[in-house]
Chain A
Amino acid sequence: MSRDNPPPETPRDRLYRQAADAFGPALARLARAVERDPERARDLEQDIHLALWQSLDGFAGDCALATWTYRVAHNVAASHAAKGARAAPLVGLDALAELAAPDDPERAAGAAWALDRLQALIARLVPADRSLILLYLEGLDARQIGEIVGLTANHVGVKVHRIKALLARRLTPGDQP
């Protein structure tokens, strides 16, 4: 074997490829949601990929690869957020629903405005609620979210109901206080 030959792919490498191909966009969106600074967001995304790759040595197949991937990604993102400085104190879903939102009718119609607003809402949430809302936005159902977060599907269902109400109230132009 020549010295330039890459080492043979291990089962961990194959699992990582599988996970990165399937969930790469979700990992990028997570990094962007947790870290607003683009350069730091790319750094966080790299950290998530690295932690995922390294963690797969301990993946015993007790849960789906999707569950494992989301757990690792959200745990790394939460640790990253905990280390960073915060402009405003983090709050839970209920408290966030009661916070007054700035009115900006000129931009209210655009998707970019809605996305910007959504990211600002997510950035204010405590880690567990932030993960819940992000997993909901990725289109996961209550059972999958429950497995990733560590809550029962019923509990997640209640939280998702609140998330939907919050998003409807805060992202629909004209409906907010």
Chain B
Amino acid sequence: MTDPVCNLWTSQPIAPLSPSLEELSRRAHRLDRRVRLRNALEYAGGAIPILVFGAMAIAPVDPLMRIASAIIVVGVVVVMWGLHRRAAASRAEDWGAPILDHHRAQLVRQRDALAGVWRWYLAPLVPGLVLLFASIWQARLAIVGPEAATLAILPPVLIAIVVFTGIHWLNCATARRLTRVIATLDRQA
């Protein structure tokens, strides 16, 4: 080694760790526990709408409301399954891959998840929500008439459209940025 900067780098005062196999094993168990806890919290978050809409699906309410609730439950289950699949894929890292390949694979995985947010995260909830709004509109229709019922349902419908479109747009914008980063990596390789 002739470059003095390399000598400077390798001779810097440093005390490397030397963890025992028992320490590594304990750390691995701690990490596993943390991942399990995080997953449990995510599933608990999904369980709340499943329980609420599940109860509504079997409650003695308007049939359209019950169908909407059941479809929302199915939609939430599909979303949770998508989250579970993606979390499992991100845990199966190929740490021994060449650095650029690993970096590219991570970017592609993130890009694909973001670009597909409409398909796996938003779309499964749309049919249930549409039916839910329809059932609320129908219930109001009988009491206040078509105009007032439409005016009452319009704000939540618009909010839902803005939120869903916003989530989709933001994720697509990030996915496009990642596509540009991937293209730059490919040009450099």
B97 & A151 in contact (Cβ 8 Å cutoff): no
Contacts of A74 in B (CB 8 A): 99
Expressed in whole angstroms, the Cα–Cα distance for A149 and B188 within the complex equals: 12
Q: Produce 1/0 per residue, A22-64, CB < 8 A to B.
A: 0011011100100000000010011001111111001100000
Q: Judge if A111 is at the interface, Cβ distance under 8 Å.
A: yes
Expressed in whole angstroms, the Cα–Cα distance for A42 and B27 within the complex equals: 13
Q: Judge if B15 is at the interface, Cβ distance under 8 Å.
A: yes
Q: Produce 1/0 per residue, A99-134, CB < 8 A to B.
A: 000000000000100110010000000011001000
Q: Judge if A80 is at the interface, Cβ distance under 8 Å.
A: no
Q: Produce 1/0 per residue, B1-35, CB < 8 A to A.
A: 10101101110101111110110100110010000
Contacts of A51 in B (CB 8 A): 95
A149 & B98 in contact (Cβ 8 Å cutoff): yes
Contacts of B5 in A (CB 8 A): 114, 118, 137, 167, 171
> Could you list which residues of chain B lie within 8 angstroms of chain A, going by C-beta atoms?
1, 3, 5-6, 8-10, 12, 14-19, 21-22, 24, 27-28, 31, 93-103, 106, 185, 188-189
> Could you list which residues of chain A lie within 8 angstroms of chain B, going by C-beta atoms?
6, 9, 13, 16, 20, 24-25, 27-29, 32, 42, 45-46, 49-55, 58-59, 68, 71-72, 74-76, 78-79, 82, 111, 114-115, 118, 127-128, 131, 136-139, 147-151, 164, 167, 171
